[in-house]
Amino acid sequence: MMIHALFDASDLERTGTMKKVIPAILALLLVLLFASCNAAANEPAAPTVSAPVSTPSATAEPTVQLPNPIVEVEGPADFSDLGFVITAHQQADSANYSIIDGKIAQVIFTLDGQTFTYRGAATTEDISGVYETFDPEPQSLYLEGPGFKITVSVKTIDGGTKGALAEWAYEDIRYSFYTPDQTDYESLTDVLLPIIYYDLPFAACCG
């Protein structure tokens, strides 16, 4: 009986101790939990990373479209403001008239399956736009008419197999006449002469 009583007393002591320890442990856990939550709340938030957004620069300039240097016109009369007139061959199959950079008159026409580019401008510079290697000895054609006297220089490319270029000047107007098609001196001048005699008397009387 004595031994049993001792065990009962010991159990009571343990029970009383546990009743005191458990609340203490719970209180400590609550303190630790509160401290952990508080620390987490006080930590600085991680920065948010988002995809870059393109914004127009304050100094960006608006895009400017360059004007087309070639402006198509209806016909020879539209060249009158340039101070001269050029025309297609009177028997041309088709013809296109235009003004380049506001100062170069241009006629592109076809005749008997060949294409010709005829230009004129009030300049001393080369206006042909032809950058080929010409044969070393150009041929010259001397023309004279009412009010004009000119010398036409004819240069072939690879013996004429790759075309030819004719150039001349009248007063302050420079002219060029070019075909990329196979030709020779006689064939080119046969096409060119009627055009020159048609255009230059007009320039002579009205210049």
Q: How confident is the model at residue 102 (pLDDT cuts 50, 70, 90)?
A: very high
Question: What's the sign of the alpha-carbon dihedral 196, 199, 204, 207?
Answer: negative
Bridge partners (DSSP) of residue 174 are 121, 169
Distance CA 92, CA 119 (A): 16
- Per the CB < 8 A criterion, the answer to whether 106 and 75 are in contact is no
- Per the CB < 8 A criterion, the answer to whether 79 and 105 are in contact is yes
- Per DSSP, 44 falls in state P
Looking at the predicted structure, is the pLDDT value of residue 24 above 90? Answer: no
Residue 25 is predicted with a pLDDT of 66
Distance CA 167, CA 127 (A): 9
Burial class of 78 by CB neighbour count within 10 A (0 to 12, 13 to 18, 19+): middle
Looking at the predicted structure, is the pLDDT value of residue 43 above 80? Answer: no
SS3 115: strand
Tens-digit pLDDT profile for residues 146-192:
777 899 999 999 999 999 999 999 989 999 999 999 999 999 999 99
Looking at the predicted structure, is the pLDDT value of residue 4 above 70? Answer: no
Cα angle 192-178-74, degrees, rounded to a multiple of 5: 80
Cα angle 118-119-122, degrees, rounded to a multiple of 5: 155
Q: How many CA atoms lie within 13 A of 91 on its CB side?
A: 9
Looking at the predicted structure, is the pLDDT value of residue 15 above 70? Answer: no
Cβ neighbours around 179 below 10 Å, total:
24
Residue 2 is predicted with a pLDDT of 42
- Report pTM: 0.67
Residue 1 is predicted with a pLDDT of 44
